[in-house]
Amino acid sequence: MKLSDLFIKEAMDLHLTTSTKKETLQHLAGNFASLGKVSDVDAYVAALEAREAQSTTGVGDEIAIPHAQHESITQAAIVFGRSEQGIEWESFDGQPAKLIFMIAAPAGGGGEHLQALAKLSSVLMNPEAKAALLQAGDSDEVVEVFKKFEEPQEEAVEEVAEEAAPSNDDVYILAVTACPTGIAHTFMAEEKLKQAGKTAGYKIKVETNGQSGIGNRLTKEDIERATAVIVAADKQVEMARFDGKPVIITKVADGINKADELVARAAKADAPIYHASEDANATEESVEGESLGRQFYKHLMNGVSHMLPFVVAGGILIAVSFFWGITSFDVKDTANYNPIAEAIFRMGKLAFAMMLPMLAGFIGQSIADRPGLVVGFMGGVFANPALFTDFATGGVFAEGYVSSGFLGALIAGFLAGGIISFLKFAFSWLPKSLEGLKPIFLFPVFGVLIMGALMLFVINGPMGAVMNGLTNFLANVPRELGMVLGFLVGAMMAIDMGGPINKAAYVTGTALVTSAGAAGSDVMAAVMVGGMVPPLAIAIAATLNKNLFTEAERNSAYVNYVMGAAFITEGAIPFAAAHPLQVIPSLAFASGVSGALSMAFGIVSRVPHGGLFAAFVNGVSNPLAFVLIWLVGGIIGALLLNITLSKKAK
């Protein structure tokens, strides 16, 4: 498929009037959705914003390429927007974006589409093409520009390798580019590095790690000949093959904006020698400029994102088992026992029990790669081993056994990274012939041994005491202060909807409901109802006053009735992104009110997810009050939105 075939003329806007990145994403996505090319515009916009949160798609030179793959996309396409005054996009070079190319790709889309999308970066590197796009009078002229400048990429890997193969005395630079989605930045960095190498007179070969797979793969012969290697990547790439070579590890953005500098350094082999057994040291440059807080959050979210599906699956199944009665799963309760309820409860409990190992394991993996996964995973098991074995029923651990629960698993994840770093140092003296022994034998065995000793004899006791103390404190908080706490966690769920503040509230609620077991947690109930309010408020507001939103926004707003009921707070993100000053305070206040009311009524949630479904199957106490509180919050939010958005329109 040719690049020019992907442009949707009817969705183009050559005279953008939006003033912010969020407004522009919402506007272009709305144009795209109005043509029936996306089944869920809210989800797609949320995916675009999630990509922006990873790193800006403002690639510089007044160009931005927001992009995302999502299952709601029915057809791969590019939506073009042009702004005369420019839009602040946090671009790498600080310039506002005037040419915006929004790329929409289906989840798991074919390689043909993704290869065509990759050509966009090559065309945009041409100054003549950019000038023509700035002068284009209509959508037909925009498409003609790409027909003119699009070049069929007929370079085969063999041809590139043959062209680049130097003599032993020549400078030969290798590079690897990769970004999280593998659609745009990957190929723009490739093009920039190639241009820099050509300008400097050096031979260079660039491997791309895109969504459609690895392109122009570096061969063993390439690596042996290489003067140095540039790795410009924001995700993990295969590194062990570069053992013993000078390797520059940096961000994919530097591959675009500092290509000349990187090529000059590589030509002089001005880089540390990479050793496959010293990954932690070799990757220091990749996080240069990234604060400790940002690194902590990134590792934590890697654990949380992998943990959540287990929390949701386990929580919902446990809630379903309550349908036959709160104790219907208990074989000792002969009057209410139901074997189906017991089976579903046990399935849910096992899935829920995996929460701690998944959290700790994937925090460990984020820090120390695969060796950190097994050590972190076992750290999560050691945080509460009684979930998986009869650990606490006899032997040396039976007396005074304490579970550290969620807090222990959290610490175990970060501890796993430290343990692996220590083991890499401790075994660095081993000869290279025994390198293969480390990840498969030495790291797992000694790592699990050290982790077990630390968790069982050092961490579980104090962390368990902290967790129990927190639980007891919250259980004895006066109702008035409980309402303040409920307002706080409810509002947190609506402030950044899926962001760090939202996740902090949700993780706290999850930790408390995990610790409480079947008794449930009132904080979790406040968190859940607070997270259900924003989508409902948006849907009610759109129903009450159709003039508040555009037609595309209204069409997607009604879906929020379902999203709110299902506790999917992210359904409100596109509306908050389009009108942040009006929407976010309104929703935060409404969610806070619902959270406070939930605490006032003493509602507890026995599950960490499920929304109305959890309420209908006894997942929360007093389900009728829970539903009414949700509706009250939604109505309050809708009324506030009508006031604030109407004032903005005037």
The pLDDT value recorded for residue 212 is 55
CA distance to 298, 314, 459, per residue, from 508 (Å): 18, 17, 19
The pLDDT value recorded for residue 183 is 58
Domain end among 430, 446, 475: 475
The pLDDT value recorded for residue 496 is 79
CB atoms within 10 A of CB 631: 16
What residues contact 16, with CB distance under 8 A and at least 6 apart? 24, 27, 81, 82, 83, 87, 100
Highest mean pLDDT among 23-27, 368-372, 433-437, 504-508: 23-27
The pLDDT value recorded for residue 400 is 52
Rounded to whole angstroms, the Cα distance separating 620 from 623 reads 6
Cα torsion 468, 474, 477, 479 to 10°: value is -150
Domain end among 267, 287, 307: 287
Ranking 163-177, 233-247, 505-519, 611-625 by mean pLDDT, the lowest is 163-177
Indicate if 16 and 139 belong to the same structural domain.
Answer: yes
Instruction: Give yes or no for residue 61 having a pLDDT over 70.
Output: yes
Instruction: Give yes or no for residue 455 having a pLDDT over 80.
Output: yes
The pLDDT value recorded for residue 279 is 45
Instruction: Give yes or no for residue 390 having a pLDDT over 70.
Output: no
Residue 345: HSE in the Cβ half-sphere, 13 Å Cα cutoff: 22
Instruction: Say if residues 247 and 228 touch (Cβ distance below 8 Å).
Output: yes
Indicate if 112 and 191 belong to the same structural domain.
Answer: no
Instruction: Give yes or no for residue 278 having a pLDDT over 70.
Output: no
The pLDDT value recorded for residue 230 is 95
Ranking 222-231, 414-423, 617-626 by mean pLDDT, the lowest is 617-626
Q: Report, as an integer, the average pLDDT of 374-402.
A: 73
Instruction: Say if residues 572 and 493 touch (Cβ distance below 8 Å).
Output: no
154 pLDDT band, cuts 50/70/90, is very low
Percent of the chain exceeding pLDDT 90 equals 28
Q: Report, as an integer, the average pLDDT of 197-225.
A: 85
Phi, psi angle pair for 38, to nearest 5° = -140, 130
Q: Report, as an integer, the average pLDDT of 349-353.
A: 86
User: What stretch of H or E contains 53?
Assistant: helix 41-54
CATH of the domain at 136: 3.40.930.10
Rounded to whole angstroms, the Cα distance separating 292 from 630 reads 38
The pLDDT value recorded for residue 282 is 41
Q: Which residue has the higher pLDDT, 279 or 620?
A: 620
158 pLDDT band, cuts 50/70/90, is very low
Indicate if 500 and 568 belong to the same structural domain.
Answer: yes
3-state helix, strand, coil in the chain (%, to 5): 65, 10, 25
Furthest-apart CA atoms within the chain: distance in Å: 86
Indicate if 227 and 145 belong to the same structural domain.
Answer: no
Q: Which residue has the higher pLDDT, 165 or 639?
A: 639
Indicate if 413 and 384 belong to the same structural domain.
Answer: yes
255 pLDDT band, cuts 50/70/90, is confident
Rounded to whole angstroms, the Cα distance separating 380 from 7 reads 48
Indicate if 304 and 437 belong to the same structural domain.
Answer: yes
Instruction: Give yes or no for residue 395 having a pLDDT over 60.
Output: no
Closest CA to 353 of 319, 392, 381: 381
CA distance to 58, 255, 433, 607, per residue, from 21 (Å): 10, 23, 53, 37
Rounded to whole angstroms, the Cα distance separating 66 from 179 reads 13
Ranking 493-502, 511-520, 541-550 by mean pLDDT, the lowest is 511-520
Q: Which residue has the higher pLDDT, 503 or 132?
A: 132
CA distance to 30, 34, 71, 277, 391, per residue, from 109 (Å): 21, 21, 9, 36, 47
Percent of the chain exceeding pLDDT 70 equals 86
Structure tokens at 498: 């899926």
Instruction: Give yes or no for residue 531 having a pLDDT over 90.
Output: yes
Highest mean pLDDT among 249-263, 266-280, 297-311: 249-263
Instruction: Give yes or no for residue 600 having a pLDDT over 90.
Output: yes
Instruction: Give yes or no for residue 408 having a pLDDT over 50.
Output: yes
Instruction: Give yes or no for residue 45 having a pLDDT over 60.
Output: yes
Beta bridge partners of 81: 13, 100
The pLDDT value recorded for residue 493 is 93
Closest CA to 51 of 70, 35, 34: 70
Instruction: Give yes or no for residue 391 having a pLDDT over 70.
Output: no
The pLDDT value recorded for residue 599 is 94
Q: Which runs of E-coded beta strand occur in 179-325?
A: 203-210, 213-215, 228-233, 247-250
647 pLDDT band, cuts 50/70/90, is low
The pLDDT value recorded for residue 157 is 39
Indicate if 268 and 350 belong to the same structural domain.
Answer: no
Instruction: Give yes or no for residue 631 having a pLDDT over 80.
Output: yes
CATH of the domain at 174: 3.40.50.2300
Tell me which residue has tokens 């074997």: 339
Catalytic positions? 67, 179
Rounded to whole angstroms, the Cα distance separating 563 from 97 reads 33
The pLDDT value recorded for residue 103 is 86
Indicate if 322 and 465 belong to the same structural domain.
Answer: yes
204 pLDDT band, cuts 50/70/90, is very high
The pLDDT value recorded for residue 166 is 44
Q: Could you list the residue range(s) of the whole structural domain that residue 402 is in?
A: 292-475
Instruction: Give yes or no for residue 286 having a pLDDT over 60.
Output: no
The pLDDT value recorded for residue 174 is 95
Indicate if 143 and 12 belong to the same structural domain.
Answer: yes
The pLDDT value recorded for residue 160 is 44
Structure tokens at 422: 């220590």
Indicate if 279 and 307 belong to the same structural domain.
Answer: no
Beta bridge partners of 209: 214
Instruction: Give yes or no for residue 574 having a pLDDT over 90.
Output: no
280 pLDDT band, cuts 50/70/90, is very low
Domain end among 287, 319, 352: 287
Indicate if 464 and 407 belong to the same structural domain.
Answer: yes
Closest CA to 41 of 79, 14, 3: 79
Indicate if 441 and 525 belong to the same structural domain.
Answer: no
Structure tokens at 416: 């796993």
Rounded to whole angstroms, the Cα distance separating 259 from 243 reads 23
Instruction: Give yes or no for residue 465 having a pLDDT over 60.
Output: yes
The total number of structural domains in the chain stands at: 4
The mean pLDDT value of the chain amounts to 82
Tell me which residue has tokens 């222990």: 408
CB atoms within 10 A of CB 198: 12
What residues contact 431, with CB distance under 8 A and at least 6 apart? none
